[in-house]
Chain A
């Protein structure tokens, strides 16, 4: 089912000047959501504007949360919402991260790629060894993870997450990679991952969010696939990164 709902915000938590976590309550949506899926969200004062795709950050019981970075008019309006305000939403949309038993998994996120991987981490099968490597511009972009990197060195390792990937793969015998973040990071990570299975959650501008407009495609194989429908999670090796 894809629901179109207007729900009250049960909690709007401002993490810092850029990031906000919005929580709503809905048993249908909560039950149908899985790591990797997203919802299309819109603040009530944005009527006539497009919905914005936002990953599901977590489900606890019947509560569903979204972790949003304010980067433009759509996300600014979402981040300004307060407890009790309403949120228009359509979802859950897209596919889910495939999971496998008994793996040594490396999760790599950059910036706003954090939320889908944070939720995935909490949902990997028992017995999975997992390392979550997360990077951002500065300490403001860093949240709970195992290893962090910042460009300005204000927290964790100074530099790019991809600087740390090869040593981590070797040291921990990594045999599965999940990622989400800026295209440059994902491209580099795909090069570094070699033969290791690698699943990536992609971003694209979206209009309809449900596979109708063909606006959100990325180059996959010798054609295009829709991030909202065939994705947002793709096998990184099938994406034609040269075109991105």
Chain B
């Protein structure tokens, strides 16, 4: 009932966790946390925080701000870099995970992306990749490739021949025509797409006139972005036949179901993890109960919005 497919990957559950919102640090506290963190019997896959070729410290603080309906972040992809990921983090991930591991990565040039993929391909145990071309909080990595369909096509067409594993391209919502970007990913050889990464967002302290985040414009996620994410999921699903991993403001099973109707084959829970560490498990349970009552499987409902 809950089984679904994301391109080359068969998933036991349509629920996953969004890159960067469910870091490995949860593994360290899993045993001391009195809530079902990482309920692997309920998650279809695990997507790690985006890694880059070299270590990154991330952006100066303050990095986050809670708004009326969601949050702003300018984390800036802090990560230990590819080598440390392979040496230190991957072994822990493989030891702890019984579900498919999807590695999110980004780079500053086509060659860097290719080098990352070639290196990761040599490691055992990775089920797929999420190419992050959509982080709004860094200058060089990511978004530079996610804003122009020709540039995106060039990148994906260089990456696709390098792997037989699942190749997800994570798209940015900050574009005029999402269908065009989805088509570029498809033409380049992606096996699925994910969306949305964070929207451009901003907050200003009206008392002082100062931007709440030093980079001023940053990434907006959480409840408030859901209608936008839903529309973009629908538009992307109309444009391509690739499966879609959708996210953006999902906080309950009803939200997840809406994304499936809009065209998602699987969904990811992001910002909601911070307001409710048990959210992915709760969403799974609710969705399963609903499907049982309805007598349908996920696959019957994907993209059937009327």
- Report the nearest A residue to B21, measured CB to CB: A213
Q: Answer yes or no: A9 CB below 8 A from chain B CBs.
A: no
Q: Do B75 and A214 have beta carbons less than 8 Å apart?
A: yes
Q: Do B57 and A205 have beta carbons less than 8 Å apart?
A: no
Q: Do A204 and B61 have beta carbons less than 8 Å apart?
A: yes
CA distance A243 to B60 in the complex (A): 8
CA distance A211 to B49 in the complex (A): 13
Query: Known: A2-B33, A213-B75, A215-B64. Is A207-B57 also a contact (CB below 8 A)?
Result: no
Total A-B residue contacts, Cβ distance less than 8 Å: 94
Q: Do B34 and A223 have beta carbons less than 8 Å apart?
A: no
Q: Do B273 and A215 have beta carbons less than 8 Å apart?
A: no
List which A1-15 residues lie within 8 A (CB) of chain B: 1-5
List which B210-224 residues lie within 8 A (CB) of chain A: 223
Shortest beta-carbon distance, A227 to chain B, in Å?
9
* Majority DSSP secondary structure for residues of B touching A: loop
Q: Answer yes or no: B305 CB below 8 A from chain A CBs.
A: no
List which B254-303 residues lie within 8 A (CB) of chain A: 271, 273-275, 277-278
Q: When the two chains form the complex, which single residue of B35, B57, B274 contacts A50, counting CB atoms closer than 8 Å?
A: B274
Binds A, one of B23-31, B164-172, B173-181, B229-237: B23-31
Q: Do B65 and A205 have beta carbons less than 8 Å apart?
A: yes
Q: Do B34 and A3 have beta carbons less than 8 Å apart?
A: yes
List which B68-87 residues lie within 8 A (CB) of chain A: 71, 73, 75, 78
CA distance A28 to B61 in the complex (A): 33
Q: Do A223 and B57 have beta carbons less than 8 Å apart?
A: yes
Q: Answer yes or no: B192 CB below 8 A from chain A CBs.
A: no
Shortest beta-carbon distance, B197 to chain A, in Å?
15
Query: Known: A205-B62, A243-B60. Is A4-B33 also a contact (CB below 8 A)?
Result: yes
CA distance A224 to B21 in the complex (A): 18
Q: Answer yes or no: A188 CB below 8 A from chain B CBs.
A: no
CA distance A50 to B56 in the complex (A): 27
CA distance A244 to B60 in the complex (A): 9
CA distance A219 to B61 in the complex (A): 8
List which A180-214 residues lie within 8 A (CB) of chain B: 204-214
Q: Answer yes or no: A51 CB below 8 A from chain B CBs.
A: yes
Shortest beta-carbon distance, B206 to chain A, in Å?
13
Q: Do B57 and A2 have beta carbons less than 8 Å apart?
A: no
Q: Do B29 and A214 have beta carbons less than 8 Å apart?
A: no
Q: Answer yes or no: B58 CB below 8 A from chain A CBs.
A: yes
Shortest beta-carbon distance, B295 to chain A, in Å?
30
CA distance A137 to B219 in the complex (A): 35
Contacts of B22 in A (CB 8 A): 212
Q: When the two chains form the complex, which single residue of A47, A49, A219, A224 contacts B66, counting CB atoms closer than 8 Å?
A: A49
Contacts of A74 in B (CB 8 A): 66
Q: Answer yes or no: B32 CB below 8 A from chain A CBs.
A: yes
Q: Answer yes or no: A217 CB below 8 A from chain B CBs.
A: yes
CA distance A212 to B275 in the complex (A): 13
- Top 4 closest A-B pairs, CB basis? A215-B64, A207-B274, A211-B25, A4-B35
17 contacts between A and B (CB under 8 A): A4-B277, A48-B223, A50-B275, A51-B275, A204-B61, A207-B66, A208-B273, A209-B274, A210-B26, A212-B22, A212-B25, A213-B73, A214-B58, A215-B63, A215-B64, A217-B61, A218-B61
Q: Which residues of B contact A (CB under 8 A)?
A: 20-23, 25-26, 28-29, 32-35, 57-58, 60-66, 71, 73, 75, 78, 223, 251, 271, 273-275, 277-278
